[in-house]
Amino acid sequence: MSTDEPNASQDAAAIDGRIGRRPTIYDIAQRVGLNPSTVSRALNKPGRTNAATEEKIRAAAAELGYRVNPMARALPTGLSGTYAIVLPDITNPVHFELIRGAEQVARRSGFTLIVSETEGAAEIELETIETLQPSVDGLLVVASRLDDDSLAALAASKPIVGANHSTPSLPSVTPDLESGLTDALDHLRDLGHRSVAYLGLGGAWINRARWELTLDLAAARGLGVVEITVDEPTVAGGAESLRRVRASGVTAVLAYNDLVAHGLLRAARSSGLQLPEAFSVIGFDDIFSAELAVPALTTLRSPLREIGTRAMETLIDPERSRTPTKVVLPLELVVRESTAAPTR
């Protein structure tokens, strides 16, 4: 290969040497043969430019080593180019793929994304959002513990999009709870179960829709159902529920999430119970450890990365982020070893 042949790095270096600074949108415009305004629109307002043109511009920007300057962008627009994800528990594996989906959208669009945790407490969530709002252009709120009125009041200041949480006042992206819970209860009914416990998150708004749907769907199928609350949606919370699950006499359990299901499985095994002989268990989310559980966990697989992607795409769109809409994505029942026909 000839050493005289130019490459993208040499082009970028030549531009830097010629203008004495980092590449700008004018350099990109010169490279692709388009107006600087078109380049600016493609880089700062994704979706407002022809997709092929936007891809061409972003490719040229990458070749030249262009980076968006958030301070410069903020001067004429009043925008910082920074967004935030606010979530209840950063250690919960359910959030990994959701964050990744949102981060990819932000990075592709030249935005910065910060992550903040609320420890699952409504008062901390409120304080966190109020603290972040002056510094960001919008917030992606995951599994919010706040009620609709509180979220609507906060959204009057900066756009807020809900992920894994639906509220009438905000745009949101959620899994299809009704179809997923229908599949889960049909599965248990077809195995021969007639009594089910729902392990829910006590006092949380996000839990209400799941419990109400479970209650109605179970009744329509002739299944007895009891609600058992856990203090926190964690392995420890699930483990602490074992005594109440056994006292309820049910033959199957629907858990709020896979972590709660993991805790219940572990506590049952430590107590000498054989599962699913003693009772069947279904989780929610299909986190990476679900198939590694003992027994391998039957669960509802949530499209976590797509939820993050779709929610972030909504948040960075000036019109969609201010329009209350509800995007519902399908859940998939993944049957493994933790469900079987009842033995009693």
Give the CATH number of the domain where residue 14 resides.
1.10.260.40
Q: How far, in whole angstroms, is CA 75 from its chain's centroid?
A: 31
Question: What are the tokens at 180?
Answer: 């997923």
pLDDT digits (tens, 9 = 90+) for 174-222: 999 999 999 999 999 999 999 999 999 876 667 888 899 999 999 999 9
For residues 8-24, give the mean pLDDT: 53
Can you give the pLDDT at residue 78? 60
Omega before 324 cis (within 30°)? no
Q: Write down which residue in 45, 68, 91 finishes a domain.
A: 68
Per-residue pLDDT band for 6 (boundaries 50, 70, 90) equals very low
Tell me the three state secondary structure of residue 214: helix
Can you give the pLDDT at residue 12? 46
Residues 201 and 57 in one domain: no
What predicted TM-score, i.e. pTM, was given to this entire model? 0.76
- Cβ count within 10 A of residue 28: 27
Per-residue pLDDT band for 4 (boundaries 50, 70, 90) equals very low
Strands 298-301 and 332-334, bridge-based pairing: antiparallel
- Give the CA angle between residues 323, 327, 329 to the nearest 5°: 170
Question: What are the tokens at 156?
Answer: 């009057």
Q: Does some domain include residue 58?
A: yes
The range of the structural domain enclosing residue 187 comes to 177-303
Residues 267 and 199 in one domain: yes
Q: Does some domain include residue 338?
A: no
Q: How many domains does the chain have?
A: 3
Can you give the pLDDT at residue 39? 85
